[in-house]
Amino acid sequence: MALVTGATGAIGPALVEGLREGGYSVRVLVRPGFASRTVPPDVEAVVGDLCDRRALGKAVAGVHTVFHLAAKLHGEIGDPDPAARADYERVNVDATRHLVEASELEGVRRFVYFSTIGVYGPSRPGEIHDEASPLRPQSLYAMTKLRGEEHVLRAPRGVVLRLAAVYGPRLKGNYRRLVRAIERGFFVEIGPGTNRRTLVHEHDVVRATLLAAQHETAGMIYNVTDGRVHTVRDILRAIASAVGRPLLPGHVPAAPVRLLAGVLEGVLSVAGRKSPICRGAVDKLLEDVAVSGDKIQEELGFLPVFDLDGGWRQAVGDPRRPKSNRRRGEV
């Protein structure tokens, strides 16, 4: 029996499907109101809150592997308010610790924790992070996920998967907005697009997860990526090709856009309104995030299936078959 938390999120449904196809019996921990409309009939649902220790004890009973996806996700731009900070702490740190403790009491044989490459912080020019790189998390999300990692790695059966930016048919957040803007022909590139990003398709996340769960070594950390580092310009071109819309020519300089965003933030805040564009969002778009996924390929034999073009075609529903990414270890 395998337990999945976060089974109704962006990655969870694909993981549940992959486990079922792999012969696992699956149990999920879901909040009230989610089980009836999102959980397959052959999957056992335990209804309860992630922060309820009694619900956690019930969820791990008889389980041999825990896949802990559930988290308060990164959505904040700027400094979160005290209530949001407390929520990050409660969900990403305390609940993880409690789930690890409940799993140890039950004798769970494997605990797979989903973290983020955000723990490394932005890359410097020419730098590519790997699992031995210094940790410089900047967002509260990344900081609390890193503290969750510490609880998992202290357990005898824990393994940490630091996921690159995940995309797929269940797109959410910034990439979903980006796809919509390109589809509508409204997107204008900010800056030259030479800054780097590290991505991975959700189906490759599932494949990497199953390998990590089956491997005997515990206490390990693996970055999960598509095996390459992409420029933002290449990502935009792949999305534009997948949706069948050309990108608008050229780009606008980043500095004046950031200045305009600051002015709008200041003016609209006086009126108690939220700006449609803020400096934090612009900075995020221009951030450089380059991370190597070599270790999981070399140690566990993970080979990503989806390259950038094939992955985005699948994510937006293009029926053409994806190309396989056959260049092992390339970054």
Task: Give pLDDT tens digits for 159-196.
Answer: 999 999 999 998 877 788 889 989 998 888 999 999 99
Q: What is the pLDDT of residue 321?
A: 39
**Alpha carbons within 13 A on the beta-carbon side of 231:** 11
Q: What is the pLDDT of residue 112?
A: 97
- The helix, strand and coil proportions of the chain, stated in percent and rounded to the nearest 5, come to 45, 15, 40
Q: What is the pLDDT of residue 35?
A: 59
Alpha carbons 102 and 96: distance in angstroms, whole number: 10
| Pairing of the two strands 196-197 and 230-231 | antiparallel
CB 245 within 8 A of CB 252: no
pTM to 2 decimal places: 0.90
CB 58 within 8 A of CB 98: no
Residues 6+ apart with CB under 8 A from 193: 231, 232, 233, 236, 251
For residue 209, the tally of other CB atoms under 10 A from its CB is: 26
Listed residue (325, 319, 321, 328) closest to 305, CA to CA: 325
The CATH number of 2-174+198-228+290-306, from 3.40.50.720, 3.40.50.620, 3.30.2130.10, 3.20.20.70, is 3.40.50.720
Note the pLDDT tens digit of each residue in 272-321.
887 777 787 788 889 999 999 999 999 999 999 999 999 999 999 854 43
Listed residue (13, 226, 15) closest to 112, CA to CA: 15
Q: What is the pLDDT of residue 331?
A: 28
* Low-confidence spans in the chain with pLDDT less than 50: 319-331
Alpha carbons 7 and 5: distance in angstroms, whole number: 5
Alpha carbons 224 and 309: distance in angstroms, whole number: 18
Domain boundaries in the chain?
2-174+198-228+290-306
Q: What is the pLDDT of residue 74?
A: 67
Q: What is the pLDDT of residue 10?
A: 87
Q: Rounded to an integer, what is the distance from CA 270 to the centroid of its chain?
A: 35
Q: How far is CA 73 from CA 85, 192, 298, in A?
A: 12, 29, 30
